[in-house]
Every structure is written in structure tokens, then in C-alpha cells.
Amino acid sequence: MIKQKCFNAFFINLGLILFFVLSLCLFPAKSSSREISYQTYPQANSVVHIITIPHQSNYQITPMATGELATLKKFMMQSDAIAGINGGFFDPKNKQTTSYILQQGTVLADPRNNIGLITNRKIQPYLGKILNRSEFRSYLCGDNISYDISLHSDPIPLGCRLQDALGAGPKIIPLETSVQEGFVAYKDGKLVRNAIGTTSQNARSAIAITKNQDILLVMVAQRSHKNSGMSLSELANFLSNLGVVKAMNLDGGSSSAISYQGQIIYGRLDKDGNEVKRSLKSVLLITKKSKKLNL
């Protein structure tokens, strides 16, 4: 009788152990990692590089701009950042910004001060839209920092303070707003303006927010000089499949560059297949929280 009870107890315990192991396999615990991660996604005509900053991480995303132009490598070296990506638009001739940049409440760059932009007759019909493009924002709401993608004129949430902002555009998720932001224009049903080649494959950069409030730095690198990279709609579809709910295009093409732990990857290739290493006006940098940036 005692042997039978021991025998039954053994099989009951064994069953519980097997059930526990099977549960772990079928229902694995969700990752609670707060560390930054870097992944590559090889595609037919491109390689997508993504740096993920978890929502509950001990890192902050901060814009930085320089008076003169500087390479992403220089931005990284002088800021001690762990990761970074190229930022907003600028005029390479006069080295002035065409995107708003705000850091810790201080305006670092204002496109309204760019005389070449404001007095350009060709873009006068679109100037109002250009000055109200999308921007990646960080808000300080009490003791918490939250991120969003909004138009420059959008109101600040009640109880929050706008801490940082970097303009670029257009927004590509949930909807592409190329026309609303003055990148694309039609007249009598015909395309008369496409400032950044939205429908062409090219090197691209973007910043995205997932449904879990994680932040993604995204750079699409070309595989060859021609017919390589992604269009904005292709990039939007790719990011949507990763759970992205909001995304904004950054200054792509020759400006496309991303950095992680000392390595810098450039997105654009010249006709000989060499990486194009362009100097930039602004970047988004990933640093430990409370790290102050100066350049």
C-alpha cells in the first residue's frame, strides 16, 4: 500500500514538472530587457539597420546640432553617445537648417533664420508647409519622459513640457503626409514637386515608436548605387510589420548614417560602390539619462 502511494506521488510530481516545462515552451516569459539592441534585416535591395531603445531603459534620446557641419563620427566622439543617427534637413551650400531643433528647451536651429530658404521664390508656395513639418518630440510630464511624433504647430499635452524636438519628415506611419508637409505637390493632377524622391528606392533614415513605446532608430542601406534602398511606402510597410505605430522619415539619401558602440554604417553608395560619408547639421543621440550634451 505504501509502495503504491509513493508510486502515485512520483508520477503526480513528474506530471507537474512536465506541465511546467511545457508551459515555458508554449508561453515563454516576455523579455524585460532594458538594454539597447542592434539588429540587421537583409532585404533584396537593401539592408535595414535598427537600434531599439526599450521604453523602460536608462537611456535618453537627444537631438544635437552644430553651427558648422560635422560627420556623425564627430558627433559621436564629442558626445560620448552609445548610438546615434543622422537628423533633420539642411542646405549643404549655406550650411543652414531647414528643420527645427530644440534641446532642453533651447532652440538650436530654426529654419526661419535660413535666409536662403525664406527668400527662395521656387518654394514660396510650399513655405508654410515646410515650416510646419513633423518632428520627433520628448515631453517631460511630471517625472516621466514620453516621446511622440507631431507637426511643429501641434499643441503640447496638458501637464507636460516640451523638452526636445527634432524636425524632419514626412510622417510615414500611420499615414504618409508628404503632400501636407510640402515634400510633394500636384497641379492639375500632375506631379510638380517631389523634393526627396518619396517613391524612388534610396538610402533612408527614420525614427519610429512601437505599440510598446519602444523607440527605433532605422537606417536603410543600399546594396548598389542604382535601384537600391527603399521608397517611403516600402519603409512604412516594413516598419508596420515590426509593430511600429508612429514613424517619421529623417534626412535620407547621402545623409543616411547610423552608429552603435563605435561602429558607423553609411547608407548611400557612390557609383564605385563606396560609402558616402556626408557631413551633417543635426543628429539624434542615445546617451545615459541625465547626460548633458555640448558640441
Compute the 3-state secondary structure of the chain and give helix, strand, coil in percent, each to the nearest 5. 20, 40, 40
Asked if 76 contacts 260 with a C-beta cutoff of 8 angstroms, the reply is no
Confidence grade of residue 139 (pLDDT, cut at 50, 70, 90): very high
Instruction: Give the mean pLDDT of 43-50.
Output: 98
Name the more confident of 12 and 158: 158
For 54, list phi and psi in degrees, rounded to 5: -60, 150
* Alpha helices by DSSP H, 164-244: 232-240
Calculate the alpha carbon distances from 199 to 184, 204, 234 in Å. 10, 12, 9
Gap between the Cα atoms of 17 and 10, Å rounded: 11
Supply the pTM of this predicted model: 0.87
- Quote the pLDDT of residue 80: 85
Output the nine-digit C-alpha cell for 108: 538650436
pLDDT score of 242 more than 90: yes
pLDDT score of 223 more than 70: yes
Q: pLDDT of 161-213, one tens digit each? A: 999 999 999 999 999 999 999 999 999 999 999 999 999 999 999 999 999 99
